[in-house]
Structure 1
Amino acid sequence: MIFQSPILLSALICLPLVWWLLRATPPRARQQAFPPIAFLARLHPKETEAARSPPWLLLLRLLAISLLIVGFARPFIPGNREQVLTQGPVLLVLDDGMLSAVDWAERMATAQSIVDDAERTRSSLLVMGTAPQADEAAGPTAPAPQPAAAVRQMLNSRHPNPWPTDREQAAQHILHLPAIPFARIVYLADTVATKGDNAFAQALHARGAVQEIRFSAQANMALVPTPVTTDGVMARLIVQPFNQPRLLHVAARATDGGTLAVVPVPVAANATQADVKVNLPVAVRNRIDTLNVQGVASAATTVLLDENTRLRPVGLLSTGGADTPLIGSIFYLRRALAPLSDLHEGNLESLLSRPLSVLIAPDGTLAGAQSQKTVLEWIKNGGTLIRFAGPALAGSQHDADTPAPSDTTQNLLPIPLLDGARQLGGSMTWGTPQQLAPFDQTSPFRGLSIPGDVTVSRQVLASPSADLEQHVWARLADGTPLVTHAELGKGEVILFHVSSTADWSNLPLSGLFVAMLQRLTEHANGLSIPADNAMLAPAITLDGEGMAGPPPPTARGIPGNVFATTSVSPTHPPGLYGPTDGRRALNAASGIDSLQPAAPVGTITDSSGQQADKPLGRYCLLVALLLLLLDGLAVGLMRAGKLPVHRGAAPLLVLFAALCATPHPAHAQNSDTSVTNRVPAAALETRLGYIVSGHEDVDEASRQGLQGLSDFVNARTSAVMGHPDAVHPGTDDLSYYPLLYWPITADATTTPAMTAALNTFMAHGGILLIDTQGQDSSNSNADSGFTADAPGTSAALRRVTTGLLVPPLVVMTDHHLLAHTFYLLHDFPGRYAGQPIWVAKEGDAENDDVSPVIIGSADWAHAWAVDGTGNTPFAVIPGGSDQRLQAYRFGLNTVIYALTGSYKADQVHVPMLLKRLEDRP
C-alpha cells in the first residue's frame, strides 16, 4: 500500500494526546450535607456511572480517528505491482491513428497508469503520437517533458485521429527530441505494419530500451468501399486474422440516422477479408448514406457513400407494343436493366420529370424535333443518352456531306451515319454474319469476355471521318463500328449500331449485352458532376470515432481531377466534399487492401501489467464514519442506561458486523422466483411471440417490432400486452400465445416436431403471421404466388409450409374482417407498401371462420420496431411516418383479430336481428 500524501500520517503521533483528552474527567464535585440524601444513600443501584470512559470506547474512538488520518493521506494499492518504478523522464509513444479507435478507452487507461507511475516517482513525461497532427506547425510531440498532472489533463482531452499513423514521420520527430536520458520508454502499439516501421524502431532504440504494450482484445479492422455492383456487395471488411470464426454486423443508415438494414458479416477463422452484401431494393439501397461496423466506433470502420456509389436511375422510353414478348423493342432491354439499375419506363415527359442519369431510346422513339430538343438540353446538363439503331434510323435521310461530330450530336447521334443499313449474310448477300472484335483498352467494355456465338447480321454504318476512331468503343471483326459515343456538354451520346431486338443481331440474347449495359450505366456521369478543375470544399467530415460533424479549421479543398487519388490526412480528413448536388466521399480506409501484423519494436507486454491503481482512502473514511456513528449510538445508550458500560463492546461489534455485511441478493429472491419459475410468463399475462430464425439481426428486429406493437396496443385499447417472447416450436409450449410472428429467411427450415406444434397451435385458435420481409421485383416467381419476397424467401416459404394444414388462401381486401376489427383500413403496409396479403378463403377456415394463417411480405417487424431509447431505428419505404402509423394500425387490428376472433363479423347482423324483433307480433 502506498500513500499519496504520507506527510499527513505524522498526525498519528497525536494519538497519545487524544487518549489523554478522552480519559480526562471534570473535577470532583464539592460535597455538601443535605438530610434527604441519607434516604438516597440507602438505595443500591444496579449500575453506577463510570468516572472515566471505558477502554473499549476509547479504542473505538482512537480507531476512528486513525482511519480519518489514513483516509486523508490517500492510500492506494498500485495496479502494476511488478513494475520497478524508476525515477527519471518517461517517453510515452502511442499509435493514435484511425485504427487505434477500436480500443481507445483501454489505451487511455493504460496511458493514465503510466502517468500514475511517473507521478509517484515525481518524474516528468513526454507524450507523442505517431499520427500526423492537425496543426502541423506544432508537430506531433511536446517541446519538452511535462509534469504528470499536465500530461494527465492532456490525455483526458485526447482523441484518435481519423487518418492513419505515419511512423516514418514519427521517427524523424524522435530523432529531434531533446538530448534527455529517458529512464523509461513505453510504446502503445496498434500492431498494424506500415512502411516506416524499421526507421521508427531504430529511432526508439537509439533513445533506450523500449517496452511495447499490445492489447489482448485488439481487433483491427477497416471497412473499404467497393465499386458499384448489382450483386449487393457495397463494401469489403478487412481484418487482422481472428483465431476463431466471428460474426460481425454492418449497419446501413440513411442521412437522418435511420437504420435501413443491419447486415450480418461472418468472418472465418484466419480470414483477412469478407464481403459486405446489402441485399435491398434499389429504391432503398440508393438511400444508404453510411455503412459502419456495429459496436466499433472508428473512422476506419465507417464508409460514406456519395452519388458515385448509387445505382443509376435509368429511364427506358417505351411506346405501344414495345414490350411484346421476344419481338418488342424494350423486351430484352427491360430484362437486362432491371437487376442493374433503378429502372423507370414511360414516355419522354414522364421520364424527364424525375431525376435521371441514363435515358435509353430504342429505335423510333426520338423522331420529333421537340423531343430531340428537350433531350439535347438534358444531355448538356449531364445526362447520358443510349440509342439503338433499327429500321427507322436506317430509313432516315442523312446528309451526304460528312458533318463534324459536334454538329451531328445536335441530332442526337455521336457520329455521321450513311443512309440505309448494311446486310450481312442471307440469300441475297455474299457476306456472313460478323463476330465482335476484342474491346480496346480505352473502351468501358474492356475486360469483358466475348462469346464466340454472338454475331451481327445487320447494322447501320458510320460515315468515314478522320476522327472516327476516337468515337468507337466496340467494333466488329471486320473493323466496322458497333458502339460509338460522343461528348455533348456535361453528358454523352452513345449509339448501338444494331437494334435492341434479336432481328439484327443475337447480342441482346447474350450475357454480354447485360454486361455492356451495366458498364454504360456505371460509366454515366450521374445527376451532377463538378468540373475536373473545380475545387471540392469539405462539407462534412468524420472524427477518429466515425462521428460526422463540421470540417475542422485545418481542412482544405481537393481539386476534382486528383480527388480519386487523394489520401486522408490532417488537411484532407475523411468526409464529403463538394457542392450539395455533386458531393464526393473521401473515406478513411479507401487505400487499405490488407492489415499485416507489425514486427515487435521492443519487449512485448500486455495491458495487464498496467492496471489502474486501487484507491483505499474512500474506504478508510467510510469505516471511520461508521465507527463515529457507533460511538454516538453507544454514548446515547449508556446515558439511557440500556447499555452496560463495561460490557458494551460485544453488542456493538455485532452491530458493526451487521452493517458491513452485504447479503447476496439471490438469497432474498429465491423464495419468490422458485414459485414464478414454475409458471411460464406468458401464462401470467397476454404476450405475443416470434419464432426464432437463428439470425441475430432478424430476431432482434422481431423482438423490437412486437414490443413496439404491444406498446401501441396498450396505449390505444383496453388490452394489456406484456413483453414479447422468443419461441421455438416443437420445444416451447405455444398454447399461451394468441399470435406468433414468423419472419422467413432464405435458409429457413422446419422439423416434423416443429410442423406438428404449429399445426396444433393453429387448430386450437392461434394465428400464424408469416412475413417474407422484403420486396424484390427481380425475384418474382409465378409458382409461389408471392411476387415481392426478399431474395431466396420464396423457396424457403414453400419449404417451411410443407406439412402445415393451411386452408385455401386468397388475397385480402379491405372488405375482410381483419380490415375493420378496430381501425377501418384500406391498405396494410409495413416497412414496404403495396404488398399483397394472403388469408384463408371465407368459409374454408375452422375456429369460427378465423384465418389461422396470414402471409405477407411487407416486413412489419421493422416498421413496428422501437429500440431501447424509444426511437424507430428502421426507415419505411416510401411513405415515412404516415406509412408507419398505418403499419401500427394493421398490427393492432391483427392483435384484436387474434384475441377476439370474428366478433366484429357478428355485429353486422345486429341491425337485421333488431328489425326482425320489431316485426314480431
Structure 2
Amino acid sequence: MIFQFPALLFALLCLPLVWWLLRATPPRARQQVFPPIAFLARLRPKETEAARSPPWVLLLRLLAVGLLITGFARPFIPGSRDSTQTPGPVLLVVDDGMFSAADWTDRLTTAQTIVDDAERTKSSLQLLTTAPQAEASAIPPAPQPAATVRRMLNSLHPSPWSVDRAQAARQIGQLPALPFARIVYLADGVAQSGDNAFAQALRARGAVQEIRFSSQSGMVLAPVAPTSDGTMARLIMLPSAQPRLVHVVARATDGGTLAVIPVPVAANATQADVRINLPITVRNRIDTLSVQGIASAATTVLLDENTRLHPVGLLSSGGADTPLIGSVFYLRRALAPLSDLHEGTLDALLSRPLSVLIAPDGTLAGAQSQKTVQEWIKNGGTLIRFAGPALAGSQQDTSPSNPADTARNLLPVPLLDGARQLGGSMTWGTPQKLAPFEQESPFRGLDIPADVTVSRQVLASPSADLGTHVWARLADGTPLVTHAELGKGEVILFHVSSTADWSNLPLSGLFVAMLQRLTEHANGLNIPAENILLSPALTLDGEGIAGPPPPTARGIQGNVFATTSASPIHPPGLYGPTDGRRALNTAAGVQSLRPAPPVGTITDASGQTPDLPLGRYCLLAAILLLLLDGVVVGLMRTGRLFAPRPLTLLALLATLGALTSPLHAQELSTPPAVPAAALETRLGYIVTGHEDVDTASREGLQGLSDFVNARTSAVMGHPDAVHPGTDDLTYYPLLYWPITADATTTPAMTAALNTFMARGGILLIDTQGQDGGSSTADTTFTADAPGTAAALRRVTTGLAVPPLVVMTDHHLLAHTFYLLHDFPGRYAGLPIWVAKEGDAENDDVSPVIIGSADWAHAWAVDSAGNTPFAVIPGGSDQRLQAYRFGLNTVIYALTGSYKADQVHVPMLLKRLEDKP
C-alpha cells in the first residue's frame, strides 16, 4: 500500500492525546423520587469521580481517529503489471478510426512494444484493425512472425472515418481456430454500433487485455448551420469530471489564422457551441475550423458555400431609409445581424456575388431591371419582393404554372387588381391574424405572436395549384407569402409591405425569424445541381491534413450528398467543381458520444491496471465508527439513542484541521509579497468578466509590450489584470479598458479610476468597433460595437473626464516616437478622442483616450507567437500601424509632455540667439 501524503501519518502520534480526551464518560443519571425534604437533605458538596469508559469504547474511538488520519493520507494499492509473457500466439486488435489520431503516436508505440515482447518469446502475432478500408485485405490464414507484423504497423495510419466493430467481429470469427496466449485490444474508448457482438467474439478467444490511453480526446467538431449568434460548429465529446477550455482555430484558404476561439466546456458537459464573433466579411473567409492541439479529421471541419452567411442585397431608392416609414428601415434592422448585407442600386448589387436580392415595393418597375433580375434568378439567385401601393396598382395576369409569366413579371402567383382592406371605418372586416405554418413551409416551427395582424394585402388570384405556392397564410386562408421556382433560383413575394402601413409584422420578432429562414433557405453563390456527380477534389487524411484524393475515392451524386457519411470510398473533403464545391465532414451527423463499455481488463499503455484508492473506504469506516460511538454513549448515559457530544467532536475537528494545514501558521507569519508591477514597468487591463475579451486584452498588451521592448529602451513586463477599487493602480502608467455591452461600474471603481487619472495615469478606453453590415463598401465601419455606446456613457458617468476633441496628426500622441497620420487597430478610419489642449491637468497630458479601433485584437500574440485575429481591411500593414500607435501611447504615458518640449527646440534656440 502506498500513501500520496505519507507525512500525515505522523498525526497517529496524537492518538494518546485523543485517548486522554475520550476516556472519561459522564456518570449515568440517577432516578430519584422527589420528596422535597429528602431532596434538600442530600444537597451536600460531594466530589464525584467520573466513570471510566470501557476499554473497548476507547479502542473504538482510537480506531475511528486512526482511520480518519489514514484516509486523509490517501492510501492506494498500486495497479499490478503482468511481467510474465506466456509463449504462444498473440492477437493484437487496434482501433484505427477517426478517434485514434489524437493518440496515434502512443498507440503505435504500444503496439510495437507488444510486437517486441512477442519477438522475445518467439511468439507469432495476428494483427486486426477495426476501421474499414477501401480495398478489403484478406486475413492471414495464420499468425505472422513479429518482423512481418512490425512492417504492417509501420505502414498503418489512422482512418478519417469511424470504426466498424460489427465487421471486426465477423473477421474475428474467421480467424484460425487456435488458442491465443494473449489478446490485446488497443481501444479508442468511444461506443459504436456492433460493440456487443465485437466484445463477445473477442472474449470467446480468451482473456482480453484492453489498453486505453490518457491522451485520448473522445471529441469531435461537427458542422452546424450558421446562426445569428455566430455559431458555426459544435464540440461533441465524452463527459469529463473537470471543466476544460478548448481552443478552435479558424483558418482561411491559404492556411492563415483568422481567429482562435476559446470554447469553455463545463464539467460533465457533452456539447459546447463554437461561436465565432467576427465581422461577417471576415467570417465568410473561414474555410477550415479545427481544434487546437488535436490533429484529427474528427476535429476538423471544412466549410463550403452552405455554411457561410449568404450575401444579401437590399434595393434602395430615395427616401427609402426614412426612420419608421422608409421601405428599407425595418428590413435593414432585421437583416443586418443575420447576413452579409449590402445596400444600393440594382447595378451596384448585381456587380458583386449575391445570394439573395430583396426588393421593396416600387424598386423593380423598369423592364430592363426586370430582365436583368430574371437572368440572375435563373442562375440560382433568390428574389424576395414586398407588396405595396405600387404593386397593387400594376398587376399583370400571370400563371404560376407558366414559368414564362413568372419570368416576365417576377411574381410567383397571379394577383388581383388593387389591395384588400381589412378593418377600418369603411369596411366590415377586422385585421386578420396569421395561421400556423404548414410542415412544407420553411417557416415551420416559428412561434406566431398573438398581436401580429394584417390590415391590408394584395390578393392572389385563385387557381388550382395555388396551394403548392403558399408558404404562409392568414387566419382566413388567404396567402401571405408565396413562392415559385425560376430556373435554378426562386421568386418569393410577401403580400404585405415592408413598412408598418399594411401590417405590424415588420415590428415583430417573427419578421426577423422569417427573413432568417428565407436567407438560410436560399441557394449559395454557386451550388451545383443535384443531378450531377460531384467528384472528389480535395480530401482529408486521418490527421486532418488536406491533400489530393486517393485512387479509391469515388464521386457522390448531388441529391444524396447531404445524407452521405465519410467512408473509404467517400473520404471527408471537398467535392464538386471549383465554383461550387461541397464539404463532406467526418463528424457530420454525429449527435452524441458515449463511453464504450470495457471489453476486458483495462490497463494503461504500459500494461498497468488502475490504482485502487483506499482513502474513501477509510473515511467511510471512520464515519461509521463515530456514529456507532455516539449510539453507544447514548445508551450508556440514558438508555436512549444518541446523545451527541459536541465538545469532543469539536476537539477532533480542530485537531484534524491543524494536522491537515501544517503550513497555516507559517502562511500567517509570511509578510505580504511586493506587487510585481512595483518591481518592473507593466501595463494593465481592466477585467470585464468575458473570458474571450480578457484573453484578447492580455495577449494584446503582451504583444504590445514585446513590440515596445524590441524597438525602444523601455523594459516592459508581462501585463496584469486589474480590478479598480480592489487592486492598487498606483504602479501602472497605462490601463486598457475594453468596453462590453454589459459593462458597469461601482462607486469604489469610479473613485479608484479618478485617483489613477489624477496622479498621472492614462486610461485607454476601447469600445471595440465592428462592421455595421449595412454599407455597400466593405471598408466602412460603425464607431462602436453593438451596445457599447450606451455602456460607454454608463461607465464614464462620475469619471473626471475633461472636454474631449477628435485627435489629429498634430497631437503630441502622433509623434511621441513614430510620426503617425492615422491610428488604426483591428479596424481603420475610426475617430479617437483625447482631452482638449489646455484643459488637461498633469502638464496637459490627456488622462483619457477613447476610441473604437479594437487595438487589443490587433496587438494580440498567442502562446505560439501567432497573431490570431485578422485586421481589416489593411492586413499586415495596418497591424504594424496599430503597433506603432500602441508604442506611441506607451511612450506618451511614460514621458508625458517631454516630446512637446522637443517640438519647440528651434524656437527656443532662436530666442537664445536674439538675446543680447
Fold agreement, TM-score > 0.5: yes
Tell me if structure 2 keeps the 8 A contact 1:258–1:874: no
Q: Distance in 2 between matches of 1:157 and 1:200?
A: 25
Q: Deviations over 1:359-416 (max 9, x none)?
A: 1111111111221122112112211111111111111152499993432322211222
Which one of the candidate residues 450, 456, 461 is aligned to 2:448? 450
SS in 2 for 1:284: helix
In the alignment, the residues of structure 2 paired with residue 891 and residue 513 of structure 1 have an alpha-carbon distance, to the nearest angstrom, of 44
Q: Which residue of 2 aligns with 1:189?
A: 187
- 1:823 paired with 2:823, answer no
Specify the alignment match of 1:890 in structure 2. Answer: 885
Find the counterpart in structure 2 of residue 161 from structure 1: 159
Determine the C-alpha separation between the residues in 2 that align with 1:214 and 1:848: 67
Question: CA distance change for structure 1 residues 154 and 740 in 2, over 3 Å: closer, same or farther?
Answer: farther
Partner residue, 1:663: none
Q: Does 1:726 align with 2:725?
A: no
Equivalence map 1:252-401=2 (5 Å):
252-396=250-394, 398-399=396-397
Distance 2:740 2:500 in 1: 38
Q: Give, in angstroms, the shift of residue 418 of structure 1.
A: 2.2
SS state at 2:241 partner = coil
| Residue from 202, 210, 218 that aligns with 2:200 | 202
Q: How does 1:500-511 map to 2 (within 5 A)?
A: 500-511=498-509
Q: Distance in 2 between matches of 1:231 and 1:690?
A: 27
Question: What is the alpha-carbon distance in structure 1 between the residues aligned to residue 137 and residue 843 of structure 2?
Answer: 81
Secondary structure of the 1:127 match is: strand
Tell me the equivalent position of 1:809.
804
Q: Which amino acid aligns with 1:896?
A: I
What do the CA deviations read for 1:490-542 (whole angstroms, capped 9, x no partner)? Answer: 11111111111111122212222111111111111111110101221222222
3-state secondary structure, aligned to 1:270: coil
Amino acid in the other structure paired with 1:296: I
Q: 1:818 to 1:853 in 2, by over 3 A?
A: same
Which amino acid is 1:448 matched to?
L
Give runs of aligned pairs for residues 74-93 of structure 1, distance below 5 A.
82-93=82-93
DSSP-derived class of the 2:175 partner? coil
Distance 1:272 1:751, change over 3 A: same
Task: Give, as a single letter, the amino acid of the residue that structure 2 aligns with 1:446.
Answer: R
* Corresponding residue of 1:591: 589
Unaligned regions of 5+ residues in structure 2, if any? Answer: 1-78, 610-671, 775-780
Task: Provide closer, same or farther for how the CA distance between residues 750 and 431 of structure 1 changes in structure 2, counting only shifts above 3 A.
Answer: closer
Per the normalisation by structure 1, the TM-score is: 0.77
Which amino acid is 1:725 matched to? P
> How far 1:151 sits from its partner (Å)?
2.9
Distance 1:124 1:516 in 2: 66
Instruction: Tell me, in whole angstroms, the C-alpha distance in 1 between the residues paired with 2:120 and 2:365.
Output: 88
- Residue pairs, 1:837-856, within 5 angstroms: 837-856=832-851
Query: Is it true that 1:536 corresponds to 2:534 in the alignment?
Result: yes
The secondary structure found in structure 2 opposite 1:532 is coil
Q: In structure 1, give the amino acid aligned to 2:135.
A: E
Query: How far, CA to CA, are the matches of 1:421 and 1:861 in structure 2?
Result: 55
CA shift for structure 1 position 545: 2.0
List per-residue Cα deviations over 1:770-789 (Å, max 9, x = no partner).
Answer: 3344526499xxxxxx9654
**In the alignment, is the contact (CA less than 8 A) between 1:485 and 1:495 conserved in 2?**
yes
Shift of 1:162: 0.9
Match of 2:247 among 246, 249, 252: 249
The aligned counterpart of 1:425 is 423
Deviates more, 1:851-860 or 1:705-714: 705-714
Local SS of the residue matching 2:485 = strand
Identity percentage of aligned residues:
83
1:198 maps to a residue whose letter is N
Which residue does 2:48 correspond to in 1? none
SS of 1:839's equivalent? strand
Helix, strand or coil: the match of 2:176? coil
Aligned CA distance change for structure 1 residues 719 and 401 (closer, same or farther; 3 Å)? closer
> Structure 2: how far apart are the matches of 1:335 and 1:599?
52
Query: 2:802, 2:836 within 8 Å by CA — same for their partners in 1?
Result: yes
Task: Look up the SS of the partner of 1:386 in the other structure.
Answer: strand
SS of aligned partner of 2:99: helix
218-227 vs 865-874, which moves further: 865-874
Q: 1:446 to 1:683 in 2, by over 3 A?
A: closer
Moved more, 723-732 or 160-169: 723-732
- Pair 123,475 (structure 1): closer, same or farther in 2 beyond 3 Å: same
Q: Secondary structure at the match of 1:607?
A: coil
- Could you tell me which amino acid in structure 1 is paired with residue 162 of structure 2? P
By how many angstroms is 1:173 displaced? 1.4
User: Structure 1, residues 134-154: CA drift from partner, whole Å, max 9, x if none?
Assistant: x42325x55643332343344
2:207 aligned partner, one-letter code: A
Deviation per residue, 1:86-135 (Å, 9 max, x gap)? 101111112111112233333233223322221221212122211112x4
**TM alignment of 1:563-642, pairs within 5 A:** 563-609=561-607
**What is residue 412 of structure 2 aligned with on the other side?**
414
Partner of 1:62: none
SS at match of 2:607: helix
Q: Which amino acid in the other structure matches residue 551 of structure 1?
A: P
Q: Are the structure 2 counterparts of residues 274 and 792 from structure 1 closer, same or farther at C-alpha, using a change threshold of 3 Å?
A: farther
DSSP 3-state at the match of 1:99: coil
Q: Which amino acid aligns with 1:104?
A: W
CA distance in 1, matches of 2:548, 2:877: 32
Q: Deviations over 1:198-238 (max 9, x none)?
A: 21112212322222223355441122222221122222221
Match of 1:180 among 168, 178, 181: 178
Find the residue that maps to 2:318 and give its secondary structure: coil
TM-score (structure 2 length as normaliser): 0.78
Q: Secondary structure at the match of 1:102?
A: helix
Q: 1:832 aligns with which of 817, 827, 833?
A: 827
Q: Establish whether residue 482 from structure 1 lines up as the match of residue 480 from structure 2.
A: yes
- Is the alpha carbon distance of 1:421 and 1:790 closer, same or farther for their aligned partners in structure 2, counting shifts above 3 Å? closer
Q: Partners in 2 of 1:816 and 1:722 — Cα distance?
A: 25
Please give the alpha-carbon distance, in whole angstroms, between the structure 1 residues aligned to 2:555 and 2:904. Answer: 73
8 Å CA contact retained: 1:541, 1:574: yes
Q: In the aligned structure 1, how far is the partner of 2:398 from the partner of 2:474?
A: 24
Measured against aligned partners, the alpha-carbon deviations of 1:268-319 in whole angstroms (never above 9, x if no partner) come to 2222222222222222222222222222222212222211111111111111
Q: Say which is worse superposed, 152-161 or 573-582, in terms of deviation.
A: 152-161
Distance (Å, rounded) in 2 between the aligned partners of 1:796 and 1:532: 49
Do the aligned partners of residues 806 and 296 (structure 1) sit closer, same or farther apart at CA in structure 2, a change above 3 Å counting? farther
Would you say the 8 A contact 1:329–1:500 is kept in 2?
yes
Instruction: State the shift of 1:593 in Å.
Output: 1.0
1: CA distance, partners of 2:221 / 2:400 = 52
CA distance in 1, matches of 2:763, 2:254: 34
Q: Distance in 1 between matches of 2:129 and 2:568?
A: 14
Q: 1:835 to 1:159 in 2, by over 3 A?
A: farther
Q: Which residue of 2 aligns with 1:877?
A: 872
User: Per-residue CA shift, 1:654-701, capped at 9, x if unaligned?
Assistant: xxxxxxxxxxxxxxxxxxxxxxx9987767765545456676655554
After superposition, give the CA deviation of every residue in 1:740-786 in whole Å (9 maximum; x if it has no partner). 4344556767777766665454333332323344526499xxxxxx9
d(CA) in 2 for partners of 1:604, 1:258: 42
Tell me the equivalent position of 2:856. 861
Q: 1:436 to 1:696 in 2, by over 3 A?
A: closer
Tell me which amino acid in the other structure corresponds to 1:843. G
Pairing of 1:630-669 with structure 2 (within 5 A): none
Structure 1 residues 96 and 823, CA gap change in structure 2 (3 angstroms): same
Following the alignment from structure 2 to structure 1, what is the Cα–Cα distance between the partners of residues 846 and 142? Answer: 79
2:260–2:868 contact (8 Å) kept in structure 1: no
Distance 1:441 1:562 in 2: 22
Q: Aligned partners of 2:794 and 2:86: how far apart in 1?
A: 70
Distance 1:154 1:695, change over 3 A: farther
